[in-house]
Amino acid sequence: MARRINPGPLLAVAFLGVAGVLAWKFYPRGEPAPAPVQAAPAAVATPDAAPAVEYPIEAVPVLPEAPAEPLPALEDSDGAAWAALSALLEGGDLAQWLLPTHLVQRLVTTIDALPRRDINRQAYAARPVEGGLATTEAAGMRYLDAANFARYDAAVATFERVDSRALVSAYVRFYPLFQQAWREVGPPGSQFNDRLVAVLDHLLAAPEPQGPIALVPAEGKPRWEFADPRMEQASIGHKALWRMGPDHATRVKAKLRQLRELLAGQRPAA
């Protein structure tokens, strides 16, 4: 029984997560907070009030560059977005990882789905990892085989290798298109960059499995599920980190932690 595992959580964050949250220096830390004072009564929000922007895209620094061509319309952006991302892979085959159509919209939808349990497959940005899920048997139980982790070697290496400063500049340049795509799926008045930070926090909070990961056959389906119900009910993003193995997950989290710090100007809560 084999199961194809998709690297979408890694690759979507590799473009948006790295791009949206990488800078080349830490933002300065704020002064210690003053002693609490009696707060004034909170204003009553009106139905039309937009949520406050926590991480404005204007605060993300970019590399100096020559004036760029105007952005295409969102519906015509596949070619420009594909070319920009391909250039950042330094000769790597982008088609190995991502689907070429509706690229910006798929990336936004995939990012938004990482803390959730399900996603519409038509909205997913990435191609499946090659090969079937490797399992091993011991004492009558089926476990995730460590041999499975090698399937993620190339994806993790690509994620670590992307030039951060060039990628953040590309993300900021294309941000109006990401924000437009986000308006079609996100809460009214919200910012995609804020959602990106929340997704990074979620990924960093993924617990580390203790010992081998037990599997069971999915009821009525030709695939494996986590034997631990809590793991099986977890999000797409957490499951992806567990399936790639502890070493890969540690490397990915280290990169994500750096990204989150650089975007927010503060260290994530432990």
pLDDT in tens, 155-191: 899 888 887 777 778 888 999 999 999 999 999 999 9
In this structure, is residue 216 part of a structural domain?
Answer: no
How many domains are contained in the chain?
A: 1
User: What's the mean per-residue pLDDT of the chain?
Assistant: 79
Cα 38 from Cα 40, distance rounded (Å): 7
- The string of pLDDT tens digits covering residues 196-226 is 989 999 999 999 999 999 999 998 888 899 9
In this structure, is residue 34 part of a structural domain?
Answer: no
pTM of the model: 0.78
- Residue whose entry in the numeric block shows the structure tokens 């990961």: 213
Burial of 47 (0-12, 13-18, 19+ CB in 10 A): exposed
In this structure, is residue 72 part of a structural domain?
Answer: yes
In this structure, is residue 107 part of a structural domain?
Answer: yes
Range of the domain at 191: 8-26+55-131+149-205+245-264
